[in-house]
Structure 1
Amino acid sequence: MSGRLAGLAGRTAVVTGGAQGIGAAVVERLCAEGCRVVILDKDPAHGRTLVDGLRQQGHTVRLAVGDVTDAAAVRTAFAGVPAHWSPPTLLVNLAAGFVFKGLEATAADWRAVLDPTIVGLSLVTRSFVAGLPERDADAAIVNMASISAHIAQEGYLTYNSSKAAVLGLTRCLAQELAPRGVRVNSVSPGTVWNANNERYHREALGLDRAAAEAAPEHGGKFLLGRFADPAEVAAPIAFLLSAEASFITGTDLAVDGGYLAV
């Protein structure tokens, strides 16, 4: 890849939820930037397929199968980083819970969305930070928020609240970790055309991508009149991890095709 971002080549990154979708696009982008990447995901099938493909291309990547809500599994994932790799100094927290309910949500529903999105994120971040030097760590974290973190949506109480919490957690972590040389930011994507969204639009709505993007209530909500590809979210994540973003911390980058502008 030509024109690589500054400060990524040779670094070790950990990507949670990296087995498919946006996560896989992030892993692919970081590999292309010259990073070694650890994927922490509870989906072994998709994870192994991704790892095998990237290794065949000559990239250095490994899979740690585990749930981000399992503190022991998280510790094992970090302990399993090969000794000849540089210690992880880049982290992307993508693993999350997807529960879309309103006030009818039960305690179990709230745990299902908050445990991976907030508790898991905090456990992974704690293990990541534990391996960094006390000062001048030159490290960066990017958390996955959403346009849903910024707005109200009917029937999305659980999901929107969890993503709004990611914004607050990101700002607090940025303040706490700045003295150690760690930058912390988040991204808020709009609708991304991945396997899950394609399945939903085709099976529930009977729409292919072109029809969905042409519909005013779907793609028409975005100023650009379309959905994002996973790689279009991976690119700004890589930017925020890189030295190009060395004076950016505690903020959220909307990757939303103009959704929040109107």
Structure 2
Amino acid sequence: MTDLSRGLAGRTAVVTGGAQGIGAAVAERLCAEGCRVVVYDRSAEHGESVVEEWRRRGYAAHLVVGDVSDAAAVKAAFTDLPVDWPRPTLLANLAAGFVFKGLEATPGDWHAVLDPTIVGLSLVIREFVAGLPERDANAAIVNMASISAHIAQQGYLTYNTSKAAVLGFTRCTAQELAPRGVRVNSVSPGTVWNANNERFHREVLGLDRATAEADPENGGKFLLGRFADPAEVAAPIVFLLSTEASFITGADLPVDGGYLAV
């Protein structure tokens, strides 16, 4: 009989950008699945808050505060773990740079978006893989792309380029790591109603969620006519990390309410 267990319980997972939004939803879901979860984030304030809450619930959560584009900080994230935790075999790369500029973007703008999104991605995966066996690692990685990786958007040159690079990075690392038993995939979410997007819609556009979702230029662009909640993106990420996705690698999964279908 086929074993349909998810294969997550008892394993150690690292979630970059895990203190807020989608990252926090992924970390919480992995905790609930029985994983030991390393929350790796730049924000000590948000990180301490969520990790403390999860520990109160009996979850195994550990906070590492650092920048993913800092090689020393990345190395520490994978070495300074609780002594009784096994080496991480699950990785969700959700940290990214958010810079929305066109051709006017300066070198500083490009560093601000590419350093965390691509340089950080490479450093984190390199350190993650360094702790795995050469073969049969039974490990999985999920990278964060975006619908913006697949389309052109006015004034989004920096952001869309960084996310398109994630797709290429994912395919190449999937090929390179497959012989070692490491699967690598990505997800491409549409607009998620998190704290940052709520603040933008309210303060810049003057729209609450219901009004924004009813607007043809906002929620109306999605076939489902609304934005996603963070948990709705977390679930597919956890699926791709699980053994239920054991024959999926080098793929990108749109979690976009049908945005890219039309």
Q: Shorter chain as normaliser: what TM range? A: over 0.9
Letter in 2 for 1:17: G
Note the alpha carbon deviations across 1:44-97, whole angstroms, 9 max, x for none: 000000000000000000000100010000101111112211110000000100
Secondary structure of the residue that 1:140 maps to in structure 2?
strand
Task: Give the aligned length.
Answer: 259
In the alignment, structure 1 residue 129 sits paired with structure 2 residue 129? yes
CA distance in 1, matches of 2:6, 2:189: 23
* Residue aligning to 1:120: 120
Where do 5+ consecutive residues of structure 1 fail to align? none
Q: Is the 8 A contact 1:41 1:64 kept in 2?
A: yes
CA distance in 2, matches of 1:5, 1:88: 19
* Residue aligning to 1:237: 237
Letter in 2 for 1:236: P
How is 1:43-58 mapped onto 2 (pairs within 5 angstroms)?
A: 43-58=43-58
Secondary structure of the residue that 1:170 maps to in structure 2?
helix
What TM-score do you get using the length of structure 1 for normalisation? 0.98
* Residue aligning to 1:33: 33
Q: Is the 8 A contact 1:21 1:195 kept in 2?
A: yes
Kindly report structure 1 stretches of 4+ aligned residues shifted beyond 3 Å: none
- RMSD, aligned α-carbons: 0.8
* Residue aligning to 2:154: 154
Letter in 2 for 1:54: W
Secondary structure of the residue that 1:185 maps to in structure 2?
strand
* Residue aligning to 1:251: 251
* Residue aligning to 1:138: 138
Q: Is the 8 A contact 1:37 1:62 kept in 2?
A: yes
Secondary structure of the residue that 2:47 maps to in structure 1?
helix
**Percent identity for Structure 1 against Structure 2:** 80
Note the alpha carbon deviations across 1:177-215, whole angstroms, 9 max, x for none: 000000000000000000000000011111110000000
* Residue aligning to 1:62: 62
Letter in 1 for 2:243: A
Secondary structure of the residue that 1:86 maps to in structure 2?
coil
What TM-score do you get using the length of structure 2 for normalisation? 0.98
Secondary structure of the residue that 1:254 maps to in structure 2?
strand
Q: Is the 8 A contact 1:5 1:33 kept in 2?
A: no
Note the alpha carbon deviations across 1:130-166, whole angstroms, 9 max, x for none: 0000000000000000000000000000000000000
How is 1:150-189 mapped onto 2 (pairs within 5 angstroms)?
A: 150-189=150-189
